[in-house]
Amino acid sequence: MTTVLAGGVGAARLLRGMVRAVPARKVTAIVNTADDVMLHGLSVSPDLDTVTYTLAEAINPDTGWGLVDESWQAMDTLERLGSPTWFRLGDRDLGTHLHRTGRLADGVGLTEITAEIAHAWGVQVRLLPMTEDRVATMVTLANNNGVEQSSVGDEIGFQDYFVKLGHDVDISAVRFAGIADASPGPGVLEAINSATAVVIAPSNPIVSIGPIIAVPGIGAALANRRADVVAVSPIVNGAALKGPAERMLRELGHEPSVIGVARLYRDFAATLVVDIADADLASGVEAEGMTCVVTPTVMTDLNVATNLCQTILSPRLRLTQY
């Protein structure tokens, strides 16, 4: 059994390779839910949906989120009605949110609902929300960033930061509201405790992996399995492949490099996989107390993703010098 800690797009690409390296039924993904948002009365779980749609080969290839062959008529209606439309929910995608919201109202847990959605798409990877409790990533603006009606110290929700402001603003803090009272979702601790390998996907370490590790009990379970935990750096050559990871690391006082990633993960993972572009920093990673494996990690196609996963799962991983 392989367990993967997953955010959105980067994790989804890794999981697509993982199911070519090992049977999908032997893979569990523990997925971030701190990006989840209520919009138009609907429960939207972006990372769960990105992973599901990607594994179903139904993801929109242009955006990396939402469904392929999407139409936007519901958004046009919302626009006509004067409702906010900055967060785009396609007509096909809306069905997922309607189903999730209705089932939650019926008292069904998010883990069961996620399994229903995955099953409907033929996804055999077991997808586990990190928690069924409400956790929300909140971002503090460092200055008014030219945004009207905002001032230094204002705290906004993650999707306001990520989508509405296009993460093109300076920030000074990130916190996960509700995390202290959250419990790991059903099956999460077992998936970590019983895995032969635990993989931390190349997702944003602060806002995608950070909330998963911060759920009480999950960080300790990972630390307990440290020797078998392999993280893949989302930072390549000092830059994030997608999204604001590099900028966030820098603004929150971390080094925006594989060394900074190593410092965030060293208590939980024994091994850090970095791209060949960062080969010269391997000794620096090892100086932080992690074994460093250098291999292509930029998942431009499925072959790179599959080879990366084969390397990650190689039993000789920690003995191999590249």
- For 292, list phi and psi in degrees, rounded to 5: -110, 130
CA distance 39 to 97: 10
| 230 close to 271: Cβ distance less than 8 angstroms | yes
Total residues at interface with ligand FO1 (CB under 6 A): 18
Pick 35 or 246: Cβ nearer ligand FO1: 35
Among 49, 160, 251, 275, binds ligand FO1 (CB under 6 A): 49
Among 147, 163, 189, 277, binds ligand FO1 (CB under 6 A): 163
Smallest separation (angstroms) from ligand FO1 to the CB of 168:
12
Pick 62 or 280: Cβ nearer ligand FO1: 62
| Contact stretch for ligand FO1 (CB under 6 A) within 126-134, 156-164, 184-192, 253-261 | 156-164
| Contact stretch for ligand FO1 (CB under 6 A) within 23-31, 40-48, 144-152, 188-196 | 40-48
Smallest separation (angstroms) from ligand FO1 to the CB of 43:
11
| 208 close to 233: Cβ distance less than 8 angstroms | no
Smallest separation (angstroms) from ligand FO1 to the CB of 85:
9
| 116 close to 103: Cβ distance less than 8 angstroms | yes
Residue 77: CA count within 13 A, CB half-sphere = 8
199 pairs with which residues across the strands? 4, 230
Q: Hey, is 127 helix, strand or coil? A: strand
Which residues from 215-244 bind ligand FO1, rule CB under 6 A? Answer: none
AA identity, residue 101: T
Q: 98 CB contacts (<8 Å, ≥6 apart)?
A: 42
Q: Hey, is 236 helix, strand or coil? A: strand
Residue nearest to ligand FO1 (CB): 8
Does 47 engage in binding with ligand FO1 (CB under 6 A)?
A: yes
| Contact stretch for ligand FO1 (CB under 6 A) within 15-23, 46-54, 178-186, 283-291 | 46-54
CA distance 1 to 68: 30
Pick 208 or 295: Cβ nearer ligand FO1: 208
Among 35, 132, 251, 278, binds ligand FO1 (CB under 6 A): 35
Residue with tokens 């006509």: 80
| 62 close to 117: Cβ distance less than 8 angstroms | no
| 171 close to 202: Cβ distance less than 8 angstroms | no
Does 46 engage in binding with ligand FO1 (CB under 6 A)?
A: yes
Torsion angle, CA of 122/232/3/12, rounded to 10 degrees?
-20
Pick 71 or 194: Cβ nearer ligand FO1: 71
Pick 75 or 270: Cβ nearer ligand FO1: 75
Which residues from 71-100 bind ligand FO1, rule CB under 6 A? Answer: 87-89, 93
Which residues from 1-30 bind ligand FO1, rule CB under 6 A? Answer: 7-8
CA distance 40 to 84: 9
Does 160 engage in binding with ligand FO1 (CB under 6 A)?
A: no
Kindly list the residues in this chain that would bind ligand FO1 in the complex (CB under 6 A).
Answer: 7-8, 35, 44, 46-47, 49-50, 65-66, 87-89, 93, 159, 162-163, 208
